[in-house]
Each structure stands twice: as structure tokens, then as C-alpha cells.
Amino acid sequence: MRLTRAGEYAVRCVLHLAKQEPDALVSRQTIADQCRIPPHFLAKIAQQLAKAGIIEIMQGTRGGYRLIRRPAEVSLLEVIEAIIGEIFLNDCVIRPETCQASPDCAVHRVWVRARDELRRVLGSVSFEDLVREESCCLVRFPLSPPA
């Protein structure tokens, strides 16, 4: 399984919003520029994130995007699945009826366990955790050498 470009961009967008002050409104262009996301692609992703109740889209010249829940309340899993749908590693996991061997298949059980573990790990990481981790890295590894 590989994360789609849309999923990666959604994570970048939400992470950027999570770094802002609560209820901060950030322009689409600012997010596109700072997160290196094509603006037209960002607009599509933002619609899916808004539909999932993660961000709010404000229209108009002073519009932009705002995180509508605290970063601690938004998981990496939730953002990824808002864009790509439920994570599954094989069709038989999400649609067992497509495989005649599924009920008795040892591989099927491995796919299910692997999917469940991946979803558990991604669900256990909040955007607050990611912001905190990034802040720690910046302190340890500053972008520019000390003067």
C-alpha cells in the first residue's frame, strides 16, 4: 500500500493548520505555497476535509481554511481516510464476498490483522503529537547554523 499524493497533501494541509493559533484562518494560497501543494489540488482536498468535519472553508477575498477541531482531536488516520476512504490492503478485507476462499484463507486473516494494526497506529497519532514532534526536531536540528 502506498499513500496517494492527495493523502500526503491532506496531511500537509492539516499539519500546517494545526501549527496555527486556535481558530486561525489561513489563505489557500499561503497553504499552497508553504506546503508545496498545487492550489487547484488543495481546493479539492479541502472540500473532502471539510466534508469530513476536519476543516472549515471560508469563501471570499478574506477567506481561507481553518481547523475546526483541536489538533489533539484529529488523528492521522482520520485525515488519510477522509481522502482515500477506509484503508485496506486487499479487496478481500473490505469485500470478503469477492473471494470464495476468504472465510478459510490464512492469508486473508493476515491482511485483516495488518490492516487493523496499520489503522490502530495511524489512529493513535494526533496532529498535536505531530506538531510537538516537529517542534522538538527543529530545536535539536535548527534550519540554520548558529552564528
Distance CA 4, CA 41 (A): 13
Distance CA 135, CA 127 (A): 12
Q: Which residue has the higher pLDDT, 112 or 69?
A: 69
Distance CA 95, CA 102 (A): 9
Distance CA 16, CA 30 (A): 10
Bridge partners (DSSP) listed for residue 70: none
**Residue 145 covered by a domain:** no
User: With 60 as the cut, is the pLDDT of residue 144 above it?
Assistant: no
Q: What is the pTM of this model?
A: 0.82
Mean pLDDT of 36-65: 94
> Which residues span the domain enclosing 59?
5-140
* pLDDT tens digits, 1-35: 678 899 999 999 999 999 999 999 999 999 999 99
Distance CA 32, CA 41 (A): 9
Query: According to DSSP H, which parts of 19-64 are helical?
Result: 28-35, 39-51
User: With 90 as the cut, is the pLDDT of residue 45 above it?
Assistant: yes
We report the CATH number of the domain holding residue 109 as 1.10.10.10
Q: Is 80 exposed, middle or buried (0-12, 13-18, 19+ CB in 10 A)?
A: buried
Confidence of residue 102 (pLDDT cuts 50, 70, 90): low
- For the chain, how many structural domains are there in total? 1
**Residue 146 covered by a domain:** no
Q: Which residue has the higher pLDDT, 48 or 109?
A: 48
**Residue 93 covered by a domain:** yes
**Residue 147 covered by a domain:** no
**Residue 26 covered by a domain:** yes
Q: Which residue has the higher pLDDT, 129 or 147?
A: 129
Confidence of residue 56 (pLDDT cuts 50, 70, 90): very high
DSSP assignment, residue 26?
B
